[in-house]
Structures are given as structure tokens and as C-alpha cells.
Amino acid sequence: MGPMPKTPDHAPAELLADWTALLRRCGATADPEPYGRDLLGRWAEPQRRYHTTDHLRAVLGHVDALAGHAADPDAVRLAAWFHDAVYRPDRSENEERSAALAVRALTEAGLPGPRVDEVARLVRLTVTHHPEPGDRDGEVLCDADLAVLGGTPEAYAAYAAAVREEYAFVPEPDFRAGRAAVLRHLLALPALYRTPAARARFDAPARANLAAELGTLEGRPAGPAGIR
């Protein structure tokens, strides 16, 4: 796996225990713990404000809630661990580098090739969050990753603020234009969520949150929630 940042002392022990159990369940022949510590170190890097260990924990929780929809829930869990393992806001190849990391680490740990390939495919899918119809694993991972959009107005505002902090190096006019384009793309999607459970829970609040943030970026008055 190569040299990687060390996990801070406060890295959550429960996540490391979950990782170790997951890798053993998936057939690892090497000790899972060093890989888990390396990953947790990555998720705790100082440039992160939203893509943190808290985000990892949240995505894993949503994967667990949606696991009944997945064809291979453990492959989805592995992909959740790796999907933002490489994260530099000033670079565009994060997902590809994360997928490559997954291939190197999971192969070295002894996991079977087909499952490693599936994990890498799922990680790459988070570039577009657009799984093909019938891609049940992809649907679960993408819905879990986008669940933050359907939080309470207060939680969504905290998410949006953290994203802005990660892009603090981008001038405000450029950020507003780029962020607005992302929000318009999301709002234009025929379906933000693909699993029935996520669609029922998150779609309506997510669209309200996205529309409210877009209105603020474009200089329109805030809606009834009044959070922007």
C-alpha cells in the first residue's frame, strides 16, 4: 500500500474494529488493521472539512440502512471506505486515485480479484453518481454518499459551509459559479436517489435544500427555511 499518513491518536476505535471485521469477512489473508489505520489517517488529513471521518461514518451508516437493496453489501462497504480516501480539493482525479488505492490495498490484503474489481468500479462511480439501471450496489453507494443533501436545513447548511471551507483557495465569484453549476446539474437529474428507501426519505428535502442554496448563490431571497 506504500507509505501513508499515520492515524491520529483520536482515530475512532469503533471504525477500525468495523474495518477489521469487514476485511476478514471478505477473505483477507493479511492483517487488516494496518490498512484500516492508514485509511483513517487519510480521512483525518488537515485539508478536509466535509470529507472527514464523520462523513465516512455517515456513509457507512447509510449503506447499512440500505444494505438489503445491495447485491454485495460488503463490496459497497469497502467502496465507502475508499471512495474519498484520496481527497485534494485542488485536483480532479481524486476518485481515480482512490480506486487505484483500493486495488493496490485490497489485492495486497489478499481479497479475491472480482471483488476488488467491483470495489474499484463502485469508487469510480462516485464521479457521476449515475449508476446504470439495475446496478444495485452502485445505487446503494451513490444514495449513501448523497444522503447529506436530504438532511435538515441546519445540517445541510453546515455541509455547504464545510464544502466552502475545503475550497477556500477558490475566489468567491468562481466558487459561486462552479457551485451553482453543480447544484443545477443535481436539480436537473430525473432521480437524485435510486433506492426506494432513500428516495422516500431524502428526495423532497434534498431538492428543497439544493434550490435554497442555489437561490442564495444566484442572489435570490431565501425561502421559508431562511437558512441561507
Largest pairwise CA distance in the chain: 57
Res 151 pLDDT > 50: yes
Which pLDDT score is estimated for 212?
Answer: 97
Q: Which three cell numbers stand for residue 71?
A: 447485491
- Average pLDDT, stretch 31-58? 96
Res 219 pLDDT > 90: no
pLDDT band per the 50, 70, 90 thresholds, residue 92: confident
Question: pTM of the full predicted structure?
Answer: 0.90
Which pLDDT score is estimated for 44?
Answer: 95
Which pLDDT score is estimated for 7?
Answer: 43
CA distance 80 to 126: 10
Domain limits, the chain:
13-148, 152-217
Q: What is the 3-state secondary structure (H, E, C) of 57-100?
A: HHHHHHHHHHHHHCCCHHHHHHHHHHCCCCCCCCCCCHHHHHHH
Is domain 13-148 given the CATH code 1.20.5 in the classification? no
The three-point CA angle 25-70-111 to 5° equals 30
pLDDT band per the 50, 70, 90 thresholds, residue 220: low
Taking alpha carbons only, the member of 63, 15, 21, 62 closest to residue 41 is 15
CA distance 48 to 43: 8
Which pLDDT score is estimated for 81?
Answer: 98
CA distance 141 to 80: 7
- Average pLDDT, stretch 171-179? 96
Which pLDDT score is estimated for 221?
Answer: 53
